[in-house]
Structure 1
Amino acid sequence: MRYYRLDPIDDAAAAQGRWSLDAKRRWGLPGTECPRCHSSPLAIALNYPSVDLSKLPEEREYRKARVAPWDEYVQLRDRILPLLPPGAVVQPGIGMGPLAGRVRGRPPPVAMDSSWNLFAQPEGVERLLAAGLCGISPVPTAIKTARDVPPLLEMELQLGGDYTPECRPAPVGEPCPVCGAQRRRRPAVGAEWLDSSAMRGLDVFRFTWNPAMTVASERFVAVLRDLGDTGIRVTEVAVRWPAEAGSSP
């Protein structure tokens, strides 16, 4: 099985150039700074569109993007933990809830407006599901389209994949006892190989070490190519396979 990175093509002649999206997430965790190590990470691509905070008494506290003191951030974080999907990674700045806004033009059946946002119209979802792909989890959006444009759904992607041990960033020192942040050193290797045994059977996912990177299997890419011009660039990534499996595919 081969794996590929998905990115929108920045080309006005491509499908991506014929539509645009102006939308924002309904809720999010604020940014913050650890009082111990002073790290201030901010998630860019970690979004959970299926999460509904509308019934939380403090729902309005999650609406505005801001930087909050550490103690306030921890309280807000802990309130939402039971509402997050299994295996969710929680960081300052994660987005939650459906995207709300407007799309201009006509997106293709499967579309991207950034390297970490994957959308599909009902036709695209049907084609992906009919292929028996794993990791396909479409979530309705609050994005308005023209009358003749099908509704746009957002894929809620799981984290998956890993580097092979020799390519994995190595921890330096001990993690911060307050926020858990830990410095890591990139290994001095020429290629960055993904570990074939860490794909978890998913056909599309966010890469664990870089959630802004969307990775798809050759089965997913085959459906994508059958759909025609989607405006999505497909770039093969290096995967290392166990020696006992024979040669790489």
Structure 2
Amino acid sequence: MNYQIEKNNSTFLTNMYDLLYENRKIQFRFTGAEEKNKPILFILHGHGHSGEPSKFESPSWNIVCPMDYFGVDNFGSWYLGEEGDLFWLEVMPLIISFVRKQSGNGRLHFWGSSMGGYASIVHGRLNNATAIYANIPQTFLLKSNYSKNGMKKFFSPIFGDIIDNKLNDLNLLFSERSRTKYFLCFNQLEGGNYFEEQGLRFITHLNKLKQKFYLEVRPITSHGKNHGVSEAINLFKKYKDE
């Protein structure tokens, strides 16, 4: 696999890196903890992000913020890819490997909201994360009500002609329990039947697998962030040994 990672010397953003992979440049921010072998947290942004990585830092956590500038209007490809080339599935492990070489063998965690929540579930599960925090995540893309309500133009170019890809419906992505803990937060009254379609069916799937999860449902209508990164870290710590 031909790739390289270089420090980005931009004076605008600190601790930025460029991963050059198959004629693509993927940027991420990495801020190391003060000591080796501290936990690692990937922060994955939402759709249509403003373009800057999270500024969150912690002396006790290695913080990694990959930027998804791909997809329609460069608004994001759900950290998957474009036209059936799901290059993020290969890129994310490369970033994880790079971070581990710098920081040691701390436990891996993912945090994300909406598009980032979907991606946290996918990449957290595929890379054997200890825990995932996913706020209002999509779990079902094409053919969902959410897709019909204006998101199809963003979902379709991801998969190209392979619309039956298991990554389109996370209920199909895995059929066995893993050690990963899921921390999920949804807003009950969000329009488009979002909670039932994107939340309840996935939660039911996890429950059938006896997968460990934490669930919070708020009686509000918004499609917005509930817990910030610090709050999610506190949840990770609180239920670490359960």
Query: TM-score, length-normalised on structure 2?
Result: 0.28
| Structure richer in helix, relative to its length | 2
- Which is greater in Rg? 1
Considering Cα pairs closer than 8 Å and 6+ residues apart, tell me whether 1 or 2 has the greater RCO.
1
| Structure richer in strand, relative to its length | 1
